[in-house]
Amino acid sequence: MPLKKPKGRLLILCLVTTCFIAACGQEETSNQSLSNQEKTVEFAENNYHLRDKELLYQEDPQSVKTLYLTIKSGDAAENTNHTWEEINTYSVYDYEKWGVPRYQVAALLQAGDDTGPLAGELGYSETVPNATVQVRGQTSSRNQQKNYKIKLKRNKGSWQGQRTINLNKHQTDGLRFRNKLAYDLIRGIPQLIGLRTQFVHLYVKDENGSEPDKFVDYGLYTQVEQLNGSGLKAHGLDSNAQLYKVNFFEFLLYEDTIKLEDDPDFDRVAFEKLLEIKGDRDHHKLIEMLQAVNDLDRPIDQTLDTYFDRENLTYWLAFQILIGNTDTQSRNVYLYSPQNSQRWYFIPWDHDSAFFKKEYEIEKFAGKTSWESGISNYWGNRLFQRALKSATFRQELDEAIQDLKGKLNPDYLSQEVAKYQETVKPYVTKEPDSTHLGLTPSQYDEVAAAIPKEIESNYQDYLDSLKKPMPFFIGIPEKDENGKLKVRWDAAYDLNGQKITYKVEVAKDFEFKEIIHTEEGITLSETVLDMPEKGHYFARVTATNEAGETRHAFDYYVTEVGKHFGVKSFFIQSNGKISEDVYEE
């Protein structure tokens, strides 16, 4: 048991069937050929690649729209009997702790320009609320500058054809345009479905606050299209499909959680911590696919051919690898499966960590090294781990990477980045965004100039990841039958079948300056040492293959400067008990 970490679309089948019957003119027996139903399925399955609707993307990618949000008094029935100050104070984690839905406020949303709301635009001349607003995002909900989800009420109109408006501040992005740049790059990749985005300048007036008559400048946001039934329909996809937003989901079976909704033990809250349900609520197809992915006796290439579109899968993965969007191992993507098909497609969502190498270097951030690059970044995901063990899939992935690398060349990216800089700078160099930018003007230019070079750098990381052993997990150390400390870990995997040895270190500090035990050349995935006295300890395991390439474990220890990779934190209590991360007297 492995140790675990704490542009064609599906055609209308009835038309195909009609054409088939007309052409045949006579009934066929099952012994002679495929049935009508089998032929229609075969026809559809030969045309299963998704292609986006280019006509959706008519807006200039660098344009900025202006929105005005007036916070009104709400009521308890809508969960809007809260203040603007309240929803900007609490994070998602507060609501989880309290066990209550996210607070909302009632609001009037209006579209205009920097002179104010404009006649003929959304909300003009209205005085009553036409929308609700809540803070959106997960970890970002702790930032001082919040992201907002605005939902227009039914029959209150739409903005750019959308009723759900996601405004993202991207406070941790010193450039404030990386996510939009990535989405706009997808527009040039036919193998991927993108989402519409729009720069937004937001003004907010809180009628219940200290300045009830004043619109306050909230700075620049990026609006990202909501992928729901309406969003699917807009892109020419099946609005009645299965659709899940992935949240920390590694394609395991999760048998205690991923259940049918008529199961007495179904828990929607637990289910949606893994997968947010955005489409059809029949989970039969999802469970069937997960069973196939986790059936280790079934060849993974057969599973990929049956349940996925390999083109979509390889191009999605290739794109994330090349732009360095590392926070995609187990989240920040949608899973989509249309009716009358058992195939699943990856639709990109959120590129917050893309093109970040230079900024992390400037910030002296310890993260984004070790296994968080190349294919090793995805090794903890059951689907991708099994797929990457297939030489056929790796060849397809490499072909996709080579194709995208040619499209995302430095000259093209340099031109695009310059356009975004010109658009964004007037907003990020003044309040309120300048206070939270995190980069000086010279650093801003330095980070932006580095983006075109990061494709090549990420490509080299990808090549390096193919040579190294794959990462693995360290278990919580245990006391063995002789009273000694046993340290265990999963066996590392080498794509080239090379033999692997391990080096184990145990120390009193995460920087391993006070090492109390070292052992090298280990061929088994465990070792023992004398039991240390009570205290906080750290174990580090390094795998080395025959070519001398090394890899740390998946585990990491987090401090204020970032992640320290390959490190397992544990505590030895005064009673001899060993625990992870929490010291217990």
Q: Is 487 within a domain?
A: yes
Q: How confident is the model at residue 352 (pLDDT cuts 50, 70, 90)?
A: confident
Query: How many percent of the chain have pLDDT more than 70?
Result: 90
pLDDT of res. 561:
80
Neighbours of 364 (CB within 10 A): 8
What pLDDT sits at residue 364? 74
Is 541 inside any structural domain?
yes
pLDDT above 70 for 580: yes
Domain that holds residue 515: 478-579
149 alpha carbon, distance to own chain's centre? 18
Average pLDDT over residues 199-218: 96
Percent of the chain with pLDDT over 90: 84
255 in any annotated domain: no
How many Cβ atoms sit within 10 Å of the Cβ of residue 545? Answer: 20
Q: Tokens at residue 173, please?
A: 């992005």
pLDDT digits (tens, 9 = 90+) for 226-250: 999 999 999 999 999 999 999 999 9
The per-residue pLDDT for 58 is 87
Average pLDDT in the chain: 90
pLDDT value at 418 more than 50: yes
What does the pLDDT average to over 497-526? 97
Digit-coded pLDDT (tens) for 155-196 = 999 999 999 999 999 998 999 999 999 999 999 899 999 999
Q: Evaluate whether residue 440 is within a structural domain.
A: no
Q: Is residue 553 part of a domain?
A: yes
Q: Is residue 570 domain-resident?
A: yes
Residue 23: pLDDT band (50, 70, 90) is very low
- For residue 20, pLDDT beyond 70: no
Which tens digit of pLDDT belongs to each residue from 49-77? 999 998 899 889 999 999 999 999 999 99
The pTM is what?
0.89
Model pLDDT, residue 19 = 35
Query: How many domains does one find in the chain?
Result: 1
d(CA 321, CA 332): 14
Q: Is the pLDDT of residue 2 over 70?
A: no
Give domain status of residue 568, yes or no.
yes
Q: Is 561 exposed, middle or buried (0-12, 13-18, 19+ CB in 10 A)?
A: exposed
Q: Are 462 and 314 in contact (CB under 8 A)?
A: no
What is the CATH number for 507?
A: 2.60.40
Lowest mean pLDDT among 149-163, 291-305, 366-380, 512-526: 366-380
pLDDT of residue 574: 86
* pLDDT-derived band at 37, boundaries 50, 70, 90: very low
Lowest mean pLDDT among 6-10, 46-50, 315-319, 515-519: 6-10
| DSSP character string of 191-254 | TS----EEEEEEEEEETTSS-TT-PEEEEEEEEEE--SHHHHHHTTS-TTSEEEEESS--S---
Residue 290's pLDDT is 98
Domain membership flag for residue 240: no
Q: What is the pLDDT of residue 3?
A: 54
The tens digit of pLDDT for each residue in 434-488 reads 999 999 999 999 999 999 999 999 999 999 999 999 999 999 999 999 999 999 9
